[in-house]
Amino acid sequence: MVDDHTLFRTGLRGLLSMREDFDVVADVGSGEEFLEVLPTIEADVVFMDISMPGINGAETTRRALERYPHLRVITLSMYGDDHYYSLMLESGASGFVLKDSDINEVYAAVDAVMHGDSYFSEALLGSFTRNMSRVSIPDTASEDALSDREVEILVEVCRGLSNIEIADKLFISKRTVDKHRANILEKTGCKNTANLVVYAIKNHLVEI
What CATH number is attached to the domain comprising 13? 3.40.50.2300
Instruction: Give CA–CA dist 41/37, Å, rounded.
Output: 7
Is the domain of 121 the same as that of 137?
Answer: no
Domain containing 166 equals 133-207
| Same-domain status, 167 and 120 | no
Closest CA relative to residue 128, chosen from 167, 75, 55, 188:
75
What's the total number of domains in the chain?
2
83 & 27 share domain = yes
For every residue of 160-180, DSSP letters joined together read T--HHHHHHHHTS-HHHHHHH
Are 10 and 87 members of one domain?
yes
| Tens-binned pLDDT, residue by residue, of the chain (208 aa) | 999 999 999 999 999 989 989 999 999 999 999 999 999 999 999 999 998 989 999 999 999 999 999 999 999 888 666 677 778 888 999 999 988 888 999 999 999 999 888 888 877 776 666 666 666 555 544 556 888 899 899 988 888 788 999 999 999 999 999 999 999 999 988 887 778 888 887 777 877 6
> In this structure, is residue 1 part of a structural domain?
no
What does pTM read for this prediction?
A: 0.75
Residue 154 lies in a domain: yes
Helix (H) or strand (E) holding 152: helix 148-158
Same domain, 137 and 120: no
Same domain, residue pair 114 and 163: no
Q: What is the DSSP string of 57-71?
A: HHHHHHHHHHH-TT-
